[in-house]
Amino acid sequence: MPEISALMSVYNGEKYIADAINSILNQTFRDFELIIVNDGSTDNTMEIIKNFKDERIRIFQLNQNVGVGAALNVGLSHIRGKYVAKVDADDISYPQRFEKQKDFLDKNKGIILVKSLVNHFPDNLRVAVSQRYKYIKEVIEVQKNNVISTEDISNKLYWYLCIPHTTMMIYADILKQTKYNELRLCEDHDLCLFT
């Protein structure tokens, strides 16, 4: 059994999914499985996923798009690891992410969930100069990255979702009990509030 189950759902993610998968496969901590739930994609997402020849990847194909929460629950029913690392199909994880998060959870038995900082980056010049990107970078990213302790999370969580879902590592048994709200958006809100 792997120590970590990386959990990803994807819908029409052909533009970024190869980079996301490579960032997981290049983790310094190697004892993991990568569960990918293809949520009814109609583009080339599945073909790109199948090009990866790594025995740690386990693919589950949904015939129609059911939304993030429902798709993640499908993946959750197949995980085998002690910990679940949430990963998004359009994000890149730093190579030591799994190693550092697992080490922290191993050494701090009273903590069931960890997050990391985020670094938003644009994929083109149009995005880079947009007001929306500027707001995300200068306000949202700063707010989330200023939450660095248990006390910070306790103080801020009821005001806004200060735990970036895609950076989360959590005990698998806790996540299996809680599961995801089967919404198309904000599927992690209840999870963060009630765990």
157 and 179 housed in the same domain:
no
Reported confidence tier of residue 191, pLDDT bands at 50, 70, 90: low
The whole-number pLDDT of residue 195 equals 46
- What's the pTM value of the predicted model, to 2 decimals? 0.88
Looking at the structure, do residues 10 and 31 belong to the same domain, yes or no? yes
Q: What is the pLDDT of residue 151?
A: 82
Question: Does 93 lie in the same domain as 33?
Answer: yes
- Of 75, 79, 105, 81, which Cα lies nearest the Cα of 168? 105
In this structure, the answer to whether residues 52 and 73 fall within a common structural domain is yes
Both 134 and 103 in one domain: the answer is: no
125 with 174, same domain: the answer is no
> What average pLDDT does the structure give for the chain?
88
Tell me the mean pLDDT in the region 2-28.
97
Structural domain boundaries enclosing 156: 119-162
Quick one: 69 and 151 in the same domain?
Answer: no
Percent of the chain whose pLDDT exceeds 90: 59
Looking at residue 160, the DSSP 8-state letter turns out to be S
How many domains, in total, are found in the chain? 2
Confidence of residue 162 (pLDDT cuts 50, 70, 90): low
Q: Do 126 and 73 fall within a single domain?
A: no
Q: Please write the tens of the pLDDT for every residue from 74-132.
A: 999 999 999 999 999 999 999 999 999 999 999 999 898 898 888 888 888 998 899 99
* Cβ(133)–Cβ(127) below 8 Å: yes
The Cα 131–Cα 186 span in angstroms is: 23
Task: Count CA atoms closer than 13 A to 186's CA, side-chain side.
Answer: 5
